[in-house]
Amino acid sequence: MMAWLQTLIDACYFIAALLFILGLKRMSSPRTARGGIVWAGFGMLLAVLATLLLPDMQHRGLIIAAVLIGVAAAWWSGRRVAMTAMPQMVALYNGMGGGAAAAIGASELIGHVQDFAAPNTSPLMPESWSPLHAATALAPLGPVALILGVLGALIGSVSFSGSLIAFAKLQGWLDRRFVFPGQRVVNLLVLAAAVAIGALLASGHLTLALICAFFVLALLFGLLMTLPIGGADMPVVISLYNAFTGLAVAFEGYVLHNEAMIIAGMVVGAAGTLLTQLMARAMNRSLGNVLFGSFGAAAGATAQAIGGSQKPIEAADAAVMMAYAERVVIVPGYGMAVAQAQHKVWEFAQLLIARGVKVKFAIHPVAGRMPGHMNVLLAEAGVPYDLIADMEDINPEFPATDVALVIGANDVVNPMAKTDPSSPIYGMPILDVADARQVIVIKRGKGTGFAGIENALFYADNARMLYGDGQAAAGQLVSELKTLDG
């Protein structure tokens, strides 16, 4: 390879890595998140173009065709997908990344099997590998690359199949939880078998039968691990599989000697790991409890302990109550996303602000079906960032809040997380909506939320229920408030 070309490629990878890191940094704030995505996108484009410049790159035409098809499909689906379907879209795209990493691992492993009868061209092992040199071919780089290739294939396969199940759950194609007796034991046995076969592959015992068995078990474990997880845990699961995908890409980048893949994968893996920890901490649960616990299983037992009744309110009375309030806190949840009511809710908030009411939006870290789901919806509606408060900042303000308006939120405002030790969500930090002087809850009906847990807030003395579709109810509030102003 020409020295100048290699220098150019290395420089492109370095710039791409900087753009990845700076883009991720900008994504940490809602004000700069959109720019961060653009920066990271340019970094990926630069990395892809640099990779195509590699002199030993083969089948460039097929690669470019595949990239164009993928870009066209992503552009079409990204523009057509509704905001309510964004969580499952994120899960699906994340799974595709894990699947791509697993496919790279499969290609390298199968190609190495073929090396027994042909000159070695795989980066998994050094040039000296052959059946006659099996005992001595493990040079310092060879076994490391082989082990990381197997690990990347395992993690990528789990992320791929697990993300597909998460997508199906969020899309409503599968039941929220699927459990059977002895499930944990079965999962452990499947994982142990996959790890054992992976160890054989990493030690150089490469056969097509073992490779096929390894991938079948890895994909099966991803399915079995995700099936019993309830929908309320999806933000944590999506973050976890995001971390898995990043690690798998980094490992396979080492196998391919591609610095851009290593850096991008490690950045995504580290960010996904930190986000997973934050999500689990926001629910006051360990990651093991999320993956192997029984969130929502005991909902029936806790529902019987709730006294009182749900008290309805008309939109006109609710509008008057908030119109003459001094402080109003709006708490959005997944129901607002389903109803696509964020624009009407912001219109209502603007009318309140015009009347001199102090309005804030309260966001729980795991509200919705993916990390930052509510922030994305409110940003789409044009809500200023300084009106959006995190749980830690807004909770001390609820006792001085005249009216808390809850639209589509359930578990994140359930006071049983603090009062009922038998509740599955006991100990989870919540928005202290119950401490507000008055609470208005917009809800389609009297049923439980996505996690299947009854909410004591709906039966509280200071709570009133405004039944109906989120967008329609918010529209009624807007109309009633305009009538007052007119």
pLDDT tens-digit map of 368-419: 878 788 988 898 899 999 999 999 999 999 999 999 999 999 889 999 888 8
The C-alpha angle with vertex 156 and arms to 35 and 74, in degrees rounded to 5, equals: 40
Residue with tokens 């986000």: 275
The C-alpha angle with vertex 330 and arms to 326 and 333, in degrees rounded to 5, equals: 170
Specify whether 277 is located in the same domain as 326. no
Distance of CA 353 to the CA centre of its chain: 33
Instruction: Assess if residue 302 is contained within a domain.
Output: no
Tokens found for residue 461: 């003395």
Structural domain range at position 23: 1-51
Specify whether 280 is located in the same domain as 327. no
Given a contact cutoff of 8 angstroms between Cβ atoms, the answer to whether 221 and 234 are in contact is no
Between CA 398 and CA 327 the distance in angstroms is 9
Instruction: Assess if residue 79 is contained within a domain.
Output: no
Specify whether 263 is located in the same domain as 366. no
- Of the spans 293-297, 345-349, 363-367, which averages the highest pLDDT? 345-349
Given a contact cutoff of 8 angstroms between Cβ atoms, the answer to whether 222 and 235 are in contact is no
More confident site: 172 or 478: 478
**Where does a domain end: 246, 262, 292?**
292
- Quick count: other Cβ atoms within 10 Å of Cβ 113? 14
Instruction: Assess if residue 214 is contained within a domain.
Output: yes
Specify whether 148 is located in the same domain as 217. yes
Instruction: Assess if residue 60 is contained within a domain.
Output: no
Instruction: Assess if residue 149 is contained within a domain.
Output: yes
Instruction: Kindly report the average pLDDT of the chain as a whole number.
Output: 86
- Quick count: other Cβ atoms within 10 Å of Cβ 309? 10
Specify whether 31 is located in the same domain as 92. no
Specify whether 151 is located in the same domain as 18. no
Tokens found for residue 158: 């789990």
pLDDT digits (tens, 9 = 90+) for 137-168: 333 336 888 899 999 999 999 999 999 999 99
How many domains would you assign to the chain? Answer: 3
Between CA 430 and CA 428 the distance in angstroms is 6
Tokens found for residue 411: 């578990």
Specify whether 254 is located in the same domain as 312. no
Between CA 164 and CA 173 the distance in angstroms is 11
Specify whether 93 is located in the same domain as 38. no
Specify whether 274 is located in the same domain as 133. yes
Between CA 477 and CA 347 the distance in angstroms is 10
What is the CATH number for 420?
3.40.50.1220
Specify whether 217 is located in the same domain as 243. yes
Selected catalytic residue, list 115, 233, 411, 432: 411
pTM of structure: 0.81
Between CA 455 and CA 336 the distance in angstroms is 17
34-43, 71-80, 191-200, 305-314: which range is least confident on average?
Answer: 305-314
Instruction: Assess if residue 301 is contained within a domain.
Output: no
Instruction: Assess if residue 63 is contained within a domain.
Output: no
Q: Is 461 a catalytic residue?
A: no
Q: At what angle do helices 141-171 and 86-114 cross, to 10 degrees?
A: 150
Distances from the Cα of 378 to the Cα of 190, 384, 430, 459, angstroms: 42, 8, 20, 28
More confident site: 375 or 232: 375
131-135, 458-462, 480-484: which range is least confident on average?
Answer: 131-135
